[in-house]
Amino acid sequence: MSLPELAPTAWLLIIIAVFCVGISKGGLPGVSMISILIFAGIFPTRQSTGMLLLPLIVGDFVAIAVFRQHADWRQLRRVAIPAVIGVLLGWFCLGKLSDSQLRLLIGAIILALSVLQLLRGKFGAWVETTYHSRAFAWSLGGLGGWTTMLANAAGPVMSLFFLAMRLPKLVFVGTTAWFFCIINLIKVPFSVQLGLITWPSLWLALLAAPIIAAGVFSGRWLIQRLPQRVFEILILAFAILGALRLLF
């Protein structure tokens, strides 16, 4: 029922991690990779996904309160059903793949998508047709649901999808907030059933809520001052760094 007993250094790192959760929800999704790495370094890998899920949901709620009017519901509808299917597949696969296999697979997929985005101008017509196809939406939506259930690692995947749709930065953030709030709430009963969400993870999320909110508003302050092109470059850079970190 109580919080885990950790060294002061570990608590300091957790404060940094939950603040990064807020920044990621406030406009820079790739920053969440820092949170994932910190939690995975403090807690066992599987347990860390449950410890981080509730703080992520807190961040989702705050982000929706801030950006709710900016969502692109058409794009959300395109990926909603495949994302739910992906969550179900992730729940089924959890425990059947080793941590190393999981990291390599997710990292390779994210890196391939990042390269495709970089080559968008070179293969313009083919890439645009691919991006706006139903197959692309189902593939990325399903992959997003699968990776978020397995490792809370769907941020780069869905960032690349919404980036491919050329969403303006505030619409990008609002759409991302609604997507992850819905999907993360769907994940809760499966995570409870798997023993990934416990009373300590609930207490941690409640105590971290003010820090997460501060991170969301910091992220909003930052992206409002970034030009659209710089924002897109940062999203792509965070995705590539996240992929490389998973691979190596």
pLDDT in tens, 78-123: 999 999 999 999 888 876 777 677 777 777 877 877 777 777 666 6
Domain containing residue 187: 8-247
Share above pLDDT 70 across residues of the chain, in percent, rounded to a whole number: 94
- Between 61 and 153, the more confident residue is 61
Q: For residue 221, is pLDDT > 90?
A: yes
The pLDDT score that the predictor gives to residue 25 is 94
The pLDDT score that the predictor gives to residue 181 is 94
Show the tokens assigned to 85. Answer: 């299917």
Q: For residue 125, is pLDDT > 70?
A: no
Q: For residue 16, is pLDDT > 90?
A: yes
The pLDDT score that the predictor gives to residue 15 is 94
pLDDT band at 126 (very low <50, low <70, confident <90, very high): low
The pLDDT score that the predictor gives to residue 142 is 93
**Does the residue 155 lie in any domain?**
yes
The pLDDT score that the predictor gives to residue 122 is 64
- In terms of Cβ atoms closer than 10 Å to its own Cβ (0-12, 13-18, 19+), residue 198 is middle
**Does the residue 1 lie in any domain?**
no
d(CA 41, CA 154): 19
| Spatial contact of 29 and 17, defined as CB atoms under 8 Å apart | no
**Does the residue 3 lie in any domain?**
no
**Does the residue 210 lie in any domain?**
yes
- The residue-averaged pLDDT of 171-191 equals 93
The pLDDT score that the predictor gives to residue 111 is 81
In this structure, how many other beta carbons lie within 10 angstroms of the beta carbon of residue 5? 7
**Does the residue 34 lie in any domain?**
yes
- The residue-averaged pLDDT of 10-27 equals 93
| Spatial contact of 31 and 63, defined as CB atoms under 8 Å apart | no
Counting every residue written for the chain, the total comes to 248
- The residue-averaged pLDDT of 6-11 equals 89
Could you tell me the CA-to-CA distances from 94 to 45, 55, 151, 185, 244 in Å, in that order?
12, 21, 9, 18, 22
Q: Which of 115-124, 133-142, 211-220 has the lowest mean pLDDT?
A: 115-124
Q: Which of 69-78, 179-188, 210-219, 234-243 has the lowest mean pLDDT?
A: 234-243
| Spatial contact of 168 and 41, defined as CB atoms under 8 Å apart | no
Number of domains comprising the chain: 1
Taking alpha carbons only, the member of 159, 196, 169, 193 closest to residue 31 is 159
The pLDDT score that the predictor gives to residue 79 is 96
For the chain, the average pLDDT equals 86
pLDDT band at 32 (very low <50, low <70, confident <90, very high): confident
**Does the residue 156 lie in any domain?**
yes
**Does the residue 2 lie in any domain?**
no
Taking alpha carbons only, the member of 140, 149, 237, 239 closest to residue 185 is 149
d(CA 110, CA 154): 9
The pLDDT score that the predictor gives to residue 124 is 58
- In terms of Cβ atoms closer than 10 Å to its own Cβ (0-12, 13-18, 19+), residue 12 is exposed
**Does the residue 106 lie in any domain?**
yes
- The residue-averaged pLDDT of 212-216 equals 96
pLDDT band at 127 (very low <50, low <70, confident <90, very high): low
Distance of CA 108 to the CA centre of its chain: 17
In this structure, how many other beta carbons lie within 10 angstroms of the beta carbon of residue 236? 19
- Most confident segment among 38-47, 102-111, 135-144, 237-246: 135-144
pTM to 2 decimal places: 0.86
